[in-house]
Chain A
Amino acid sequence: MRVPSSLEALVEALRCLPGVGPKSAQRMAYHLLQHDPPGAERLAAALSRAVTTLRHCTRCNTFTEDELCDRCASSQRDPSQLCVVEMPVDLNMMEQTQAYRGLYYVLMGRLSPLDGIGPKELRLERMLARAADGIVREVILATNFTNEGEATAHYVAELLHARGLKVSRIARGVPVGGELEFTDAGTIAQALIERRDY
Chain B
Amino acid sequence: MKPARQRVDRQRGYVLHTYPYSETSLIADVFSREHGRLALLARGARRPRSAMRGTLLGFQPLELGWFGGGEVKTLAKAEWCGGLPLLQGKSLLVGYYLNELLLKLLPREDAHEQLFDAYEEALVGLAGNSTNPLTNSPTNPPANLPSNAPILRRFEKALLRELGYGLLLDQEAGSGAAVVATRDYVYIIERGPVEAPSDDDGSVKLSGRTLLDMAQDRYEEPRTQTESKQLMRRLLAHYLNGQALQSRKIFMELQEA
Residue of A at shortest CB range from B88? A150
A186 within 8 A of B: yes
CB neighbours (8 Å) of B23 from chain A are 18-19
6 A-B pairs with C-beta separation under 8 A: A119-B254, A147-B58, A147-B86, A155-B250, A162-B257, A186-B82
Taking a contact as CB atoms under 8 Å apart, the answer to whether B254 and A114 are in contact is no
State which residues 140-169 of A face B: CB under 8 Å. 141, 146-147, 150-151, 153-155, 157-159, 161-162, 167-169
B129 within 8 A of A: no
Residue of B at shortest CB range from A155? B254
Taking a contact as CB atoms under 8 Å apart, the answer to whether A157 and B80 are in contact is no
Give the A-B pair count, Cβ closer than 8 A: 93
Taking a contact as CB atoms under 8 Å apart, the answer to whether B93 and A146 are in contact is no
Taking a contact as CB atoms under 8 Å apart, the answer to whether B90 and A113 are in contact is no
**Complex alpha-carbon distance, A155 and B229, angstroms:** 23
CB neighbours (8 Å) of B134 from chain A are 141, 153, 157, 167-169
A19-B22, A147-B57 as given contacts; A114 in contact with B99, CB under 8 Å:
yes
| Stretch from A29-37, A102-110, A129-137, A188-196 at the B interface | A188-196
**Complex alpha-carbon distance, A149 and B54, angstroms:** 13
**What's the least CB distance linking B117 to chain A, in Å?**
22
B96 within 8 A of A: yes
Extra inter-chain contacts (19) besides given A18-B23, A19-B22, A151-B96, CB under 8 Å: A113-B96, A114-B17, A118-B249, A119-B250, A119-B253, A141-B134, A147-B57, A147-B96, A150-B87, A154-B90, A167-B133, A169-B135, A186-B57, A186-B60, A186-B80, A190-B85, A193-B85, A194-B135, A197-B137
A147-B59, A197-B137 as given contacts; A159 in contact with B257, CB under 8 Å:
yes
Taking a contact as CB atoms under 8 Å apart, the answer to whether A190 and B93 are in contact is no
Taking a contact as CB atoms under 8 Å apart, the answer to whether A119 and B257 are in contact is yes
A19-B22, A120-B253, A161-B133 as given contacts; A184 in contact with B54, CB under 8 Å:
yes
Residue of B at shortest CB range from A19? B23
Q: Among the interface residues A113, A115, A159, A190, which one has the most CB atoms of the partner chain B within 10 A?
A: A113
B166 within 8 A of A: no
- The 5 nearest A-B residue pairs measured at CB: A19-B23, A113-B247, A169-B134, A113-B96, A118-B250
Taking a contact as CB atoms under 8 Å apart, the answer to whether A154 and B88 are in contact is yes
State which residues 170-196 of A face B: CB under 8 Å. 184-187, 189-190, 193-194, 196
Annotate B7-44 by CB proximity to A: 1 below 8 A, 0 otherwise: 00000000001000011100000000000000000000
Annotate B170-197 by CB proximity to A: 1 below 8 A, 0 otherwise: 0000000000000000000000000000
CB neighbours (8 Å) of A11 from chain B are none
Annotate B243-254 by CB proximity to A: 1 below 8 A, 0 otherwise: 000110110011
B231 within 8 A of A: no
Taking a contact as CB atoms under 8 Å apart, the answer to whether A114 and B100 are in contact is yes
CB neighbours (8 Å) of A113 from chain B are 93, 96-97, 100, 246-247, 250
Residues of A with Cβ closer than 8 Å to B? 18-19, 21, 111, 113-116, 118-120, 141, 146-147, 150-151, 153-155, 157-159, 161-162, 167-169, 184-187, 189-190, 193-194, 196-197
Residues of B with Cβ closer than 8 Å to A? 17, 22-24, 54-55, 57-60, 80, 82, 85-90, 92-93, 95-97, 99-100, 103, 132-135, 137, 246-247, 249-250, 253-254, 257
CB neighbours (8 Å) of A184 from chain B are 54-55, 80
Taking a contact as CB atoms under 8 Å apart, the answer to whether A147 and B92 are in contact is yes
Cβ contact of B247, chosen from A114, A167, A193, cutoff 8 A? A114
**Complex alpha-carbon distance, A113 and B133, angstroms:** 21
CB neighbours (8 Å) of A116 from chain B are 246
**What's the least CB distance linking B63 to chain A, in Å?**
12
**Complex alpha-carbon distance, A118 and B250, angstroms:** 6
**Complex alpha-carbon distance, A141 and B89, angstroms:** 14
Q: Among the interface residues B85, B89, B93, B134, which one has the most CB atoms of the partner chain A within 10 A?
A: B134
**What's the least CB distance linking A126 to chain B, in Å?**
14
**Complex alpha-carbon distance, A118 and B96, angstroms:** 13
Taking a contact as CB atoms under 8 Å apart, the answer to whether A118 and B253 are in contact is yes
